[in-house]
């Protein structure tokens, strides 16, 4: 177990999940938090001047040794990633994130890090199990035989295995979560890396703020997903990191909705109805995906439980404030 005075390093802390994790650690009273990201600090979603903030490119091996100097616990949330629109068109960039996790693992091993958390993804799951929108929720064993999302998913699966072998061969205590679609405030909602919940909010808010009363949906809208609110992601991540469980595990909501239902929710929050069009050529990912939470309930006695409607309300309000604040 880590003490509140132990040094915790959040890699990718300028990003969406990392930024929330840093904020949460501060709230809990951790006194030594180091936040590391490649982006200039002005682009970090959340930034706290009272903690140690480092701008480093963690693909570089020596940067990883600088980042992890003295670390007790490391959360690796750094990756070159985004929603389907990004990962389907940037497979090479996604796979280069293998350098980040590999070099961080080497530094953690050599510098005596006590706990190493790695953020994997539901994109590791075999595509053949995700062809039907009426999905059977994905259990952890469904990652094999391997047929993950091309590019991004292969990198995640490989990095999961690196964590396993660093634990087996070098005794580094690694923990691996397979996140299923995380959403919430202080994340990307435009620019090409955004994911479905934020993109849906942005499109509906644009109409609400005076744009055309149109809503373009990627795919036929029947594809299904589950979405996890950021607070659940933070809770599961920290519980898993403190636990004795060593295998990759789902951290995701099991509340399954179609993309059309997600659009219904956002329209209802906004109090508006839009004309929908369906872009069948846009990247849309697998037809159906849900998280089977049997294992997490056994291991942690808990599962992500924020209702989608509640989490989307908070997300919508934050994106609304960003867009209304700059007048678009």
User: 148: Cβ–Cβ under 8 A, 6 or more apart, which residues?
Assistant: 123, 124, 125, 126, 127, 154, 156, 157
Instruction: Kindly tell me the burial class for residue 109, based on how many C-beta atoms sit within 10 Å of its own C-beta (0-12, 13-18, 19 or more).
Output: middle
**In sequence order, what are the beta bridge partners of 7?**
none
Site for ligand NAD in 116-135 (CB under 6 A): 119, 121
Catalytic residue among 75, 118, 125, 152: 152
> What x-and-dash track marks residues 76-115 binding ligand NAD by CB under 6 A?
-xxxxx------------------x---------------
Interhelix angle 308-325/259-270, rounded to 10 degrees, is 60
Q: Smallest distance from the beta carbon of 78 to ligand NAD, in angstroms?
A: 4
DSSP 158-209: HHHHHHHHHHHHH---EEEEEE--EE-SSS--SSS---HHHHHHHHHHHHHT
The residue within the footprint of ligand NAD, chosen from 26, 48, 57, 164 (CB under 6 A), is: 57
**C-beta closer to ligand NAD: residue 77 or 217:** 77
Q: Smallest distance from the beta carbon of 267 to ligand NAD, in angstroms?
A: 22
The residue within the footprint of ligand NAD, chosen from 8, 9, 10, 15 (CB under 6 A), is: 15
Q: Which stretch binds ligand NAD (CB under 6 A): 130-138, 176-184, 235-243, 277-285?
A: 176-184
Q: Give all strands (DSSP E) within the chain, no chain letters.
A: 8-11, 33-37, 52-55, 73-76, 115-121, 174-179, 182-183, 214-218, 224-226, 228-229, 249-251, 256-258, 275-279
Residue 251, Ramachandran bin (φ over 0: left; ψ between -120 and 50: alpha; else beta): beta
Q: Using alpha carbons only, what angle is made at residue 178 by residues 174 and 180, rounded to the nearest 5 degrees?
A: 155
Regarding 182 and contact with ligand NAD (CB under 6 A), the answer is yes
Regarding 201 and contact with ligand NAD (CB under 6 A), the answer is no
Regarding 39 and contact with ligand NAD (CB under 6 A), the answer is yes
152 is catalytic: yes
Total residues in contact with ligand NAD, by rule CB under 6 A:
25
Which residue's CB comes closest to ligand NAD?
Answer: 15
Regarding 18 and contact with ligand NAD (CB under 6 A), the answer is yes
Regarding 14 and contact with ligand NAD (CB under 6 A), the answer is yes
Q: What are the tokens at 2? A: 């880590």
The set of catalytic residues is 152
The contact set with ligand NAD (CB under 6 A) reads 12, 14-18, 37-39, 57-59, 77-81, 100, 119, 121, 179, 181-182, 188, 195
């Amino acid at each position: 177990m880590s003490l509140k005075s132990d040094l915790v390093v959040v890699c990718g802390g300028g990003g969406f999940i990392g930024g929330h994790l840093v904020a949460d650690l501060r709230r809990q009273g951790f006194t030594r938090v180091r936040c590391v990201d490649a982006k200039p600090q002005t682009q970090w979603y959340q930034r706290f001047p009272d903690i140690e903030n480092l701008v480093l490119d963690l693909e570089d091996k020596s940067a990883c040794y600088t980042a992890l100097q003295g670390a007790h616990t490391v959360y690796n949330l750094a990756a070159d990633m985004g929603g389907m629109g990004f990962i389907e068109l940037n497979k090479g960039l996604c796979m280069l994130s293998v350098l980040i996790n590999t070099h961080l693992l080497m530094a953690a091993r050599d510098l005596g890090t006590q706990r190493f958390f790695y953020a994997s993804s539901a994109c590791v799951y075999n595509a053949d199990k995700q062809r039907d929108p009426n999905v059977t929720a994905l259990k952890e064993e469904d990652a094999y035989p391997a047929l993950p999302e091309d590019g991004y998913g292969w990198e995640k699966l490989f990095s999961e295995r690196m964590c396993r072998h660093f634990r087996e061969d070098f005794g580094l205590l690694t923990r691996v979560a397979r996140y299923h679609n995380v959403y919430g405030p202080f994340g990307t909602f435009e620019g090409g890396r955004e994911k479905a919940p934020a993109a849906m909010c942005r499109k509906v808010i644009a109409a609400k703020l005076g744009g055309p009363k149109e809503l373009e949906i990627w795919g036929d809208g029947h594809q299904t997903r589950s979405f996890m609110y950021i607070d659940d992601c933070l809770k599961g991540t920290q519980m898993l990191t403190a636990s004795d469980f060593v295998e990759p595990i789902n951290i995701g909501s099991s509340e399954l909705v179609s993309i059309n239902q997600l659009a219904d929710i956002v329209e209802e929050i906004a109090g508006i109805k839009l004309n929908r069009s369906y872009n069948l050529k846009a990247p849309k990912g697998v037809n159906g995906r849900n998280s089977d939470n049997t294992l997490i309930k056994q291991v942690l006695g808990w599962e992500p439980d924020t209702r989608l409607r509640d989490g989307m309300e908070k997300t919508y309000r934050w994106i609304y404030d960003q867009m209304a604040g700059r007048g678009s």
